[in-house]
């Protein structure tokens, strides 16, 4: 029987409050939209759910408030088959909240977060989860929890010999030395621009940014370029994967779907390029649906899109 990959996700949980709008509001503008919906979100939790739906065993270390939204997080994890032993419930904090507007014409979004209990995550919380994290095939991190908790996680992974995938979202400045301890860095084009100072308008710019990130000590970098696909680089390869042609409904959480699927396939032993291709397909399935956690695809859906694309490539030759 194939081994089930085990992945540790240390990150955020948020409740997403979402409104579809006819276009994104300008500065100072109020815009009427609808419908409104509420769902589970947070980059850490979304990536954990992406992994669980693909079939991974997930160790999730997240922090929620002692409120109804925190209870909903526990319920969600139980329903998705994710253990709740490392969901930290904090008195005196509200569960993280994300205010999201989605442009109904093209799926683009704007997000503002109120981190709440996510900000209470400490390095000690991460270290306390060592016994659960040990034996993971990889560790998946984002930047919606405080930097000391991220640093503690990267250091713990180093001690345990676990490969780290860091999704530097949302961007915050990190100690440069941390980049040398990251196995794969997965910024989107905005984050790659902020890390490197290179404005990314094209695949060529993305390649330059990837080279600069490699020179900072990362062993591999995968830059997601929204509608322009994905740029993949490690010491051996550099390639550009085009986007899948799908009808986009909501791009929120596409990066989370991508990162969960990338970690899953890396943990399964795929090459970086094959893992990125799988993740590219997972993200494409997720943007065809509304919401974030709710939009994460199952393995058969990702495989079906990849098979359909392979067929259409053969046809176009």
Least CB distance to ligand RIB at residue 158 (A): 26
- Shortest reach from residue 113's CB to ligand RIB, in Å: 5
Region from 35-43, 193-201, 213-221, 304-312 binding ligand RIB, contact rule CB under 6 A: 35-43
> Site residues for ligand RIB, window 138-167 (CB under 6 A)?
144
Closest-CA residue to 241 (of 281, 181, 205) = 281
Site stretch for ligand RIB (CB under 6 A), options 10-18, 147-155, 188-196, 307-315: 10-18
Indicate which single residue of 42, 107, 187, 193 sits in contact with ligand RIB (rule: CB under 6 A): 42
- Find the shortest distance in angstroms from Cβ 293 to ligand RIB: 7
Q: Which residue is nearest to ligand RIB (CB)?
A: 41
Q: How far apart are CA 248 and CA 112, in angstroms?
A: 22
Residues of span 52-71 touching ligand RIB by CB under 6 A: none
Active site residues: 256
- Tell me the angle at which helices 299-316 and 43-54 cross, rounded to the nearest 10 degrees: 80
Nearer Cβ to ligand RIB (67/144): 144
Determine which residue in the list 292, 294, 305, 309 makes contact with ligand RIB, applying CB under 6 A: 292
Phi (first) and psi of residue 125, to 5 degrees = -60, -40
- The reply to whether 46 sits near ligand RIB by the rule CB under 6 A is yes
The reply to whether 191 sits near ligand RIB by the rule CB under 6 A is: no
Binding status of residue 116 toward ligand RIB by CB under 6 A: no
Q: Which residues bind ligand RIB (CB under 6 A)?
A: 12, 14, 16, 41-43, 46, 98, 111, 113, 144, 252-253, 255-256, 292
């Amino acid at each position: 029987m194939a081994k089930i990959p085990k992945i540790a996700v240390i990150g955020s949980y948020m409740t997403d409050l979402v409104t579809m709008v006819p276009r994104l509001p300008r500065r100072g503008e109020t815009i009427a939209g609808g419908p409104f919906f509420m769902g589970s979100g947070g980059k850490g939790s979304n990536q954990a759910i992406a992994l669980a739906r693909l079939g991974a065993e997930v160790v999730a270390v997240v922090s929620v408030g002692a409120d109804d939204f925190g209870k909903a997080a526990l319920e969600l994890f139980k329903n998705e088959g994710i253990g709740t032993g490392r969901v930290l419930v904090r008195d005196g904090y509200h569960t993280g909240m994300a205010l999201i507007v989605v442009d109904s014409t093209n799926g683009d979004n704007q997000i503002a977060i109120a981190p709440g209990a996510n900000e209470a995550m400490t390095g000690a919380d991460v270290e306390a989860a060592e016994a659960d994290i040990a034996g993971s095939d990889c560790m998946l991190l984002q930047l919606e929890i405080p930097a000391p908790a991220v640093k503690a996680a990267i250091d713990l992974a180093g001690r345990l010999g676990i490969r780290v995938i860091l999704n530097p979202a949302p961007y915050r400045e990190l100690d440069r030395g941390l980049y040398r301890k990251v196995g794969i860095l997965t910024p989107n084009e905005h984050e790659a621009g902020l890390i490197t100072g290179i404005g990314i308008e094209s695949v060529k710019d993305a390649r330059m940014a990837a080279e600069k990130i490699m020179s900072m000590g990362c062993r591999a970098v995968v830059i997601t370029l929204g509608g322009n696909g994905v740029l993949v680089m490690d010491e051996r390869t550099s390639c550009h994967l085009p986007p899948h042609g799908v009808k986009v409904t909501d791009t929120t959480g596409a990066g989370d779907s991508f990162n969960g699927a990338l970690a899953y396939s890396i943990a399964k032993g795929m090459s970086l390029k094959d893992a990125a291709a799988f993740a590219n397909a997972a993200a494409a399935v997720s943007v065809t649906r509304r919401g974030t956690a709710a939009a994460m695809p199952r393995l058969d859906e990702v495989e079906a899109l990849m098979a359909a694309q392979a067929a259409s490539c053969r046809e176009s030759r």
